[in-house]
């Protein structure tokens, strides 16, 4: 399936779904940023004003922790930052309500369902860059999806008997209904079903599930590969994502990840160090289109972005403040 590039620019303060959709304007400037370098990335972080040559200036932009972006432009022999704008970042969030989203930096958001949380319509576009629906399983085939989302996600862990619990062949049979429903609601890009954490090694059941799905769904519209990633080291995550991209030749959305999940004992400090090592790779690798930490809230504060008292954890602060790149 040929990848369809999709970008969004949003006006701060849009309320409700209809206004949120109407706020989307010509996205050429956001699209342009995707092929530029964010000066805040890397150890030598700098501003547009510190760039001294025209070529570097014209290929750069900056971001801030509120989720705003600005292109650098050369004028009167100086490099300057242009007007700030809100573009969709790579970084997303799973779950949460309006007050949660307000604590982060303009993430795209999903909640494993076809429609957002009840309070979302009242704050749509104020604190986030858009809701992405998910067709979680075989139920509710005729249910509405959030209209005008820039993408939709496929079945959630169909290889897991405690989640969608669907074999690859049956999932492929249902895919045409997913395509039709997404088109009905103006959604142009579709993510694959997402298995439990895969490894590209002989005999891996998750990779075999993906293989069987793509074999049974030839000609299906799948614009990107969705994956969950709970390996305990950033090195292992990077290698697996590289292997998956090489195998399936699709851009990747990492829709759940942390260091080892709840079944391993990586503490909060370890989660922060894991994030410090992995986020630069996720941000700077072109085939990684988007990602979302698991999770916004968690019974284990060491895995949560927001703790039980409603405050950002150290993990959440790191996730909010790390410089962001513009997403496709």
User: Over the stretch 187-237, which tens digit does the pLDDT of each residue have?
Assistant: 999 999 999 999 999 999 999 999 999 999 999 999 999 999 999 999 999
**Cis bond upstream, residue 3 (ω within 30):** no
Contact 288, 254 (CB under 8 A): yes
Which DSSP string corresponds to 285-318? -TTEEEEEES-SS-SSGGG-SB-TTS-B-HHHHH
Between residues 260 and 2, which one has the greater pLDDT? Answer: 260
Residue 261: C-alpha distances to residues 230, 241, 279, 291 (Å): 6, 17, 17, 16
For the chain, the average pLDDT equals: 89
Contact 189, 6 (CB under 8 A): yes
User: Over the stretch 7-60, which tens digit does the pLDDT of each residue have?
Assistant: 344 433 333 333 333 333 333 368 888 889 999 887 767 899 999 999 999 999
- pLDDT above 70 for 4: no
Distance of CA 257 to the CA centre of its chain: 11
Contact 99, 21 (CB under 8 A): no
Predicted pLDDT of residue 32: 82
Q: How far apart are CA 71 and CA 57, in angstroms?
A: 9
Helix%, strand%, coil% for the chain, nearest 5: 30, 20, 50
78-81 vs 69-75, strand pairing mode: antiparallel
Predicted pLDDT of residue 48: 94
Residue with tokens 């997403």: 327
Instruction: Pull the structure tokens for residue 42.
Output: 């890397």
Q: At what angle do helices 268-284 and 314-321 cross, to 10 degrees?
A: 20
User: Over the stretch 129-142, which tens digit does the pLDDT of each residue have?
Assistant: 999 999 999 999 89
Superfamily of domain 88-321: Glycosidases (3.20.20.80)
Task: Give span(s): CATH 3.20.20.80, the chain.
Answer: 88-321
């Amino acid at each position: 399936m040929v990848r369809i590039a999709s970008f969004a620019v949003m006006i701060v303060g849009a309320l409700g779904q209809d206004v949120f959709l109407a706020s989307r304007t010509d996205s050429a400037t956001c699209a342009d940023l995707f092929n530029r370098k964010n000066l805040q990335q890397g150890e030598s972080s700098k501003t547009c004003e510190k760039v001294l040559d025209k070529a570097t200036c014209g290929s750069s932009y900056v971001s801030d922790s509120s989720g705003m972006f600005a292109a650098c432009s050369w004028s009167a022999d100086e490099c300057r930052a242009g007007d700030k704008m809100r573009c969709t970042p790579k970084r997303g969030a799973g779950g949460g309500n309006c007050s949660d989203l307000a604590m982060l930096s303009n993430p795209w958001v999903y909640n494993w369902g076809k429609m957002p949380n009840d309070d979302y319509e009242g704050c749509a576009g104020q604190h986030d860059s858009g809701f992405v629906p998910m067709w979680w399983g075989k139920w509710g085939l005729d249910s509405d999806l959030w209209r005008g989302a820039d993408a939709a996600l496929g079945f959630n862990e169909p290889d897991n008997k405690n989640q969608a619990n669907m074999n690859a062949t049956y999932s492929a049979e249902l895919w045409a209904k997913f395509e039709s429903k997404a088109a009905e609601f103006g959604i142009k890009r579709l993510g694959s079903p997402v298995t439990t954490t895969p490894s590209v090694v002989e005999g891996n059941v998750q990779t075999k599930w993906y293989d069987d799905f793509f074999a049974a769904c030839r000609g299906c519209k799948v614009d990107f590969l969705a994956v969950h990633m709970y390996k305990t080291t950033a090195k292992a995550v990077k290698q697996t994502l590289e292997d998956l991209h090489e195998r399936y030749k699709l851009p990747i959305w990492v829709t759940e990840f942390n260091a080892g999940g709840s079944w391993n004992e990586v503490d909060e400090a370890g989660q922060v160090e894991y994030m410090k090592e992995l986020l630069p790779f996720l941000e700077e690798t072109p085939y990684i289109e988007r990602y979302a930490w698991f999770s916004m809230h968690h019974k284990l504060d060491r895995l949560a972005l927001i703790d039980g008292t409603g405050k950002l954890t150290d993990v959440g602060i790191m996730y909010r403040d790390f410089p962001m790149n513009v997403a496709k």
